[in-house]
Amino acid sequence: MSLPPGTHVIHDAIALPAPHDTVRARAVHRAEYPVVQADSVEEAVKHLRTVISDQRIALVTDGTVAALHGRELRHELHRQGVEATMTSIAPGEESKTMRTAERLLDWLADSRIRRRDLLVAFGGGVVIDTAGWVASVYMRGMPYVNLPTTLLAAVDAALGGKVAVDHPQAKNLIGAFHQPTAVVAATPWLSTLPARHVRAGLAEAVKKGVIASPALFDLIERDLPKILALDPATLHRLVHASATVKCALIDRDPYEEDLRRPLNFGHTIGHAVETVTGYGPVLHGEAVAFGMACAARISLARGWMTGTAHTRLLSVLRQAGLPCRREELPAPTGTEAVLAALDKIRLIRDGHLRFVLPVDIGVTAITDDVTDDEIRRALTWSPSPHSTQADTATIPARRGGETTAAA
Ligand SMILES: NC(=O)c1ccc[n+]([C@@H]2O[C@H](COP(=O)([O-])OP(=O)(O)OC[C@H]3O[C@@H](n4cnc5c(N)ncnc54)[C@H](O)[C@@H]3O)[C@@H](O)[C@H]2O)c1
Ligand SMILES: [Zn+2]
């Protein structure tokens, strides 16, 4: 048979195994994408253009970001020859729901967006998580790019492909791993961020410094006033360094198969605080900061964390205006309520509550033998002028702690 020229012909001859051999399916997918830090919107769009072919662009943002930065982005896209259809969701965690996702799916279908077109998530973690999840299910998965506009999204949520919406039963209950095609942050977008959100985002950067990068921690310690003043060059360095550390960590375990994750530092107690305060009054970053302070206190009391590292961590959190004591949290948080919330997590995880305890800057120990008494003491701690703490850390092998040192 003669086929028309240009027809793509595939010759195949798959061999058949013996009738009772087990058939094995395999699907290996490893993604690699650029994470870029631009200094202007023009530069950001230039980077975005490098990952766009002849696709149509569906841009999702929220009302606040649309009002502050939407017009400039659309203008710049247009100037560089990219036409986008745009929609926005209501700002805030309340929007991270199936309802919003369904509305976005309707909008994609009504706009006749095809599987190989590109969804662009332009906003904070809420927009990125929701739009990313929509991208993961629309036509069984379409490509998407993250343009993070909060510090938290730029240093954390935009990276790693964890996408989700909340369910009344739990936050992020309906989710997937769906890696973005690119992440393009632009420093000017951060210039309008309210101070409280800057601090909350900074908490996730501090976390990465403590668990895996003395260099990042030094940078934050040294440049803290400039970060809080939103100095563009300093923010550029902070986002670039934090993204480098997060990408290096997820590269080791992109689909979170290992339960011993240093990235969970501050999140065990942090999640419990968010749960008992009803997700909202305490920002995620604030809860994580308090969780890190508690974990550090537990570690110091065990003689695991060096006094110097403990002082450095607490001092950075304090200077950043992040809560280190229960009374400093923006909503009342009962000790027993936090312990009850932790108990629920313990039940889900077969009786184990895993804690990431800092040992030094760049060294963490992961353990599941932290007792309720230790947690209670950490939660109710208040500074005493007479407290003396050892400056050395010894990790007794019998406790079963595992240490991870930053490379
Ligand atoms: N996927 C992940 O790996 C991951 C990691 C961490 C957090 N998260 C998720 O991220 C969410 C929190 O993200 P967030 O802190 O960015 O919250 P957010 O998206 O709600 O943004 C915070 C507020 O800032 C506003 N905003 C956004 N950009 C702005 C700007 N440039 N100027 C002024 N205001 C701006 C938003 O409208 C919102 O009101 C949570 O739902 C959390 O679960 C996901
Ligand atoms: Zn977090």
What pLDDT score was predicted for residue 250?
Answer: 93
Percent of the chain with pLDDT strictly greater than 70: 94
CA 309: distance to chain centroid? 24
Domain boundary among 178, 193, 208: 193
Q: Provide the edge-to-edge strand list for the sheet that holds 363-367.
A: 355-360, 363-367, 402-405
Of residues 192, 239, 317, 216, the one with CA closest to residue 35: 239
Catalytic option among 72, 102, 256, 336? 256
Task: Give the integer Cα–Cα distance in Å for 262 and 357.
Answer: 9
Considering every ligand atom, which ligand is closest to the CA of 90? 1
Say whether both 50 and 161 belong to one domain: yes
396 token code pair: 């007794």
Tell me if 162 CB under 6 Å of ligand 1.
Answer: yes
Say whether both 189 and 274 belong to one domain: no
User: Which atom belonging to ligand 1 lies closest to the Cα atom of 204?
Assistant: 6
Tell me if 96 CB under 6 Å of ligand 1.
Answer: yes
Domain boundary among 193, 223, 239: 193
Say whether both 185 and 265 belong to one domain: no
What pLDDT score was predicted for residue 396?
Answer: 45
Say whether both 176 and 281 belong to one domain: no
Range of the domain at 53: 35-193
Domain boundary among 162, 193, 224: 193
Strands 84-89 and 35-38: unpaired
What pLDDT score was predicted for residue 389?
Answer: 45
SS3 at position 400: coil
Say whether both 268 and 181 belong to one domain: no
The verdict on residue 235 lying in a domain is no
Q: By the 8 A CB rule, do 211 and 358 touch?
A: yes
Task: Judge whether 312 counts as a catalytic residue.
Answer: no
Pocket test for ligand 1, best of 69, 94, 130, 149 (most atoms within 8 A of CB): 149
Which pLDDT band, with edges at 50, 70 and 90, does 171 fall under? confident
Catalytic option among 47, 146, 264, 310? 264
User: How many structural domains are present in the chain?
Assistant: 2
Average pLDDT, the chain: 92
**Tens digits of residue pLDDT in 231-272:** 999 999 999 999 999 999 999 998 888 877 899 999 999 999
